[in-house]
Amino acid sequence: MSIGTGTLNIGISVVQNSNACASDVDCGGAVGSCESGACVNTLTRFSEGSNQWPDDACNPTTSFGLCDTNDQTHADAWASAVCQNNGWASGVWNGYKIAGCSGEVSMWCQGQIPCVQTFELTCQPGDQTIIEFTCVR
């Protein structure tokens, strides 16, 4: 079998992946925005009772507003405040929550939209809630 004559040119080109990252700084600085070497547009997590990711300071039955509602608008105000404190544009409550504390720090919005953040620094298991939320760019 004959292939013929001619010249074969082999080259390598490097295309920069604009979503590649080594740290959150490479993705604009939002905490958790560099995941497995790529910039992500969302971050879903549970609160951890820390200054950075506080739990909700209201009871597990009605966790938002004046601790008297599960209204999505009030829940999203809480999530947005937490996410914005970590460099994200906004946040939403995913509808999941667990009674109790995952740490000492919790926060509530005093029934205000946008959130007027008030922090508590003691775990109160019957009057505190671990919240799942998603931060978005």
What whole-number distance in Å separates Cα of residue 122 and Cα of residue 106?
Answer: 8
Contact 81, 92 (CB under 8 A): no
Q: What burial letters (b/e) apply to 17-50, b meaning 16+ CB within 10 Å? A: eeeebeebeebeebbbbbeeeebbeebebbbebe
Query: What pTM did the predictor assign?
Result: 0.85
Mean pLDDT along residues 46-50: 98
DSSP 8-state assignment for residue 32: T
Contact 120, 67 (CB under 8 A): no
Q: What is the pLDDT of residues 64-108, one digit of tens each?
A: 999 999 999 999 999 999 999 999 999 999 999 999 999 999 999
Share of the chain above pLDDT 70, in %: 87
Contact 30, 52 (CB under 8 A): no
What whole-number distance in Å separates Cα of residue 66 and Cα of residue 49?
Answer: 20
What whole-number distance in Å separates Cα of residue 27 and Cα of residue 1?
Answer: 53
Q: What is the pLDDT of residue 11?
A: 54
Checking if the pLDDT of 45 tops 70, the result is yes
Confidence of residue 10 (pLDDT cuts 50, 70, 90): low
